Structure 1
Amino acid sequence: MRRASARKAQAIGVLAPLLADVVDQPWRRAEALVEEFGSIGAALKGSAARVGRIAGENAFAALSKVDEAFRFLLREEIEARPTISNSDELIKYIAPSMQHLVVEEMRVLYFNARGGLIKEESLCEGTTSCAPISIRKLLSRCLDLGSNAIILVHNHPSGDPSPSKSDVECTEAIVEAARSLEIKVHDHLIIGAGRYVSLRSTGVL
């Protein structure tokens, strides 16, 4: 309990200065945001309506800029060196933007021949089922970007990253389709609450 209270106080201490120039009573607003969302990460990913209701539209705009800056810094770091074989580094980059999402989303990380990240894009939201149209879209994008290796990433809003039967079947379908174009599916990462599962590590790939 004491540790949770200390963590909450730290979160409020980080958020309040970020809100100081855009809202009145920034410490009170920061406390309300932490109470509502439970963490800074979740607050940064909160919807405009939800954040606005608690702290105002200006607060949402300020937090969105912070989130954007944080993502930019992470991307700069990950683009500076080959990272395709380093799941831990990739998770540091991608998890902050996905672990607090309230709906499932499938993203694709596209890599070049040297293992450097070319681009990150969303493939589908609300479901991660691999409809043929989604697979065609994915492979077409690989060709457009000149990417010969990809990593799939999706989140489990439940917080449990254990792969489902449909997760495995989806991965196998994409691997099979990509093989015909000599595109390698290097991994499929499933993100939960503070932890993740690599399907390569589990032997699926």
Structure 2
Amino acid sequence: MSGNHFQEASPSLFRFDPAADDVQPVDLPARGASEPSYIKDHRARLRDRFMQGGAAAMPDYELLELVLFRAVPRQDMKPVARRLLDRFGDFNRVLSAEPARLADVEGVGPAIITELKIVAAAAQRLARSRVIQRPVLTSWAALLDYCHTAMAHGEIEQFRVLYLDRKNVLIADEEQAKGTVDHVPVYPREIVRRALELNASAMILVHNHPSGDPTPSQPDIDMTRRIVQAAETMSITVHDHLIIGKDRELSFRASGLL
């Protein structure tokens, strides 16, 4: 975002213009005029309820409103939150939606998209901090939480590799590829080459199924076997391949596929 030049402007409210990219300003009659009391009171009530009861005390649309408050001041965000949830289904899928699809929703422009992506990145960063540079096999629940946070609600398939050292400490988490709603290209040689660069001794493969069903396809099984074979030639162990669905995951090792 550019911000090289600033100038003082009179206070403004906001309104929707479906033909515009974002919320449009509407000048208030006088400098220093406050936002309408019903909006101010509503925002205060939501913030108080969040601080007292946390996210568990709020439905998705209200939690989403709280996020949108920061992007667009002085406007009722409930209609925008409702439209986002109607389009994407739940709070997590809103945060995970591709920017181009978010922009198709009436009233959603760059400021809102940026705010949503900041929240999504913060959630991933927090979950990642609980597993990076730690022994993965003794913090498996935290690893699964991280994988779900990062991938469970994506609209396209993503393939990640978690690289481990000789003590099974997670030394790198890298997205190898993005694909379509039901396919992602994976290159075993590149995965093994990167493991050698990192001096990794083991790997955990992870990819998501946007359909929500983590059942592996035959191409998933075949691809995993090719990666295992390529890794074995360099004495690198593949501990597991996790497929992340919306509400659960599937482990190749636990399922007898690895």
TM-score category (smaller protein): 0.7 to 0.9
User: 2:74 matched to 1:21?
Assistant: no
What secondary structure, in the 3-state scheme, does the structure 2 residue paired with 1:162 have?
coil
Normalised to the residue count of structure 2, the TM-score between the two structures is 0.70
Cα RMSD (Å): 1.8
The letter for the 2-side match of 1:140 is R
User: 2:93 matched to 1:93?
Assistant: no
Bigger radius of gyration among the two = 2
181, 188, 204: which is aligned to 1:151?
204
- Name the structure 2 match of 1:119: 172
Deviation at 1:101, TM superposition (A): 2.0
Change over 3 Å in CA distance of 1:129–1:18 after alignment to 2: closer
- The answer to whether the Cα contact below 8 Å between 2:147 and 2:244 also exists between their aligned partners in 1 is no
- Name the structure 2 match of 1:3: none
- Name the structure 2 match of 1:198: 251
Matches within 5 A, 1:54-203: 54=105, 55-79=108-132, 81-84=134-137, 86-126=139-179, 127-128=183-184, 130=186, 134-203=187-256
Normalised to the residue count of structure 1, the TM-score between the two structures is 0.87
- The answer to whether the Cα contact below 8 Å between 1:129 and 1:166 also exists between their aligned partners in 2 is no
Deviation at 1:157, TM superposition (A): 1.9
Deviation at 1:27, TM superposition (A): 2.2
The letter for the 2-side match of 1:145 is L
Deviation at 1:25, TM superposition (A): 2.0
CA distance in 1, matches of 2:143, 2:92: 17
CA distance in 2, matches of 1:188, 1:111: 14
The letter for the 2-side match of 1:52 is A
Deviation at 1:164, TM superposition (A): 1.5
CA distance in 1, matches of 2:140, 2:245: 15
CA distance in 1, matches of 2:145, 2:156: 20
CA distance in 1, matches of 2:101, 2:156: 16
What secondary structure, in the 3-state scheme, does the structure 1 residue paired with 2:213 have?
coil
- Name the structure 2 match of 1:43: 94
The letter for the 2-side match of 1:170 is M
What secondary structure, in the 3-state scheme, does the structure 2 residue paired with 1:14 have?
helix
Deviation at 1:183, TM superposition (A): 0.5
The ranges of structure 1 where at least 4 consecutive aligned residues each deviate by more than 4 angstroms after the TM superposition are: none
The letter for the 2-side match of 1:81 is R
Identity fraction in percent: 35
- The answer to whether the Cα contact below 8 Å between 2:64 and 2:81 also exists between their aligned partners in 1 is yes
Q: Deviations over 1:134-157 (max 9, x none)?
A: 111111100111111100011122
| Unpaired stretches in structure 1, ≥5 consecutive residues | 1-6
Change over 3 Å in CA distance of 1:169–1:129 after alignment to 2: farther
Kindly indicate whether structure 1 or structure 2 has the higher relative contact order, using CA contacts under 8 Å at least 6 residues apart.
1
- The answer to whether the Cα contact below 8 Å between 1:83 and 1:116 also exists between their aligned partners in 2 is yes
The letter for the 2-side match of 1:98 is M
| Unpaired stretches in structure 2, ≥5 consecutive residues | 1-55
What secondary structure, in the 3-state scheme, does the structure 1 residue paired with 2:59 have?
helix
Change over 3 Å in CA distance of 1:85–1:152 after alignment to 2: farther
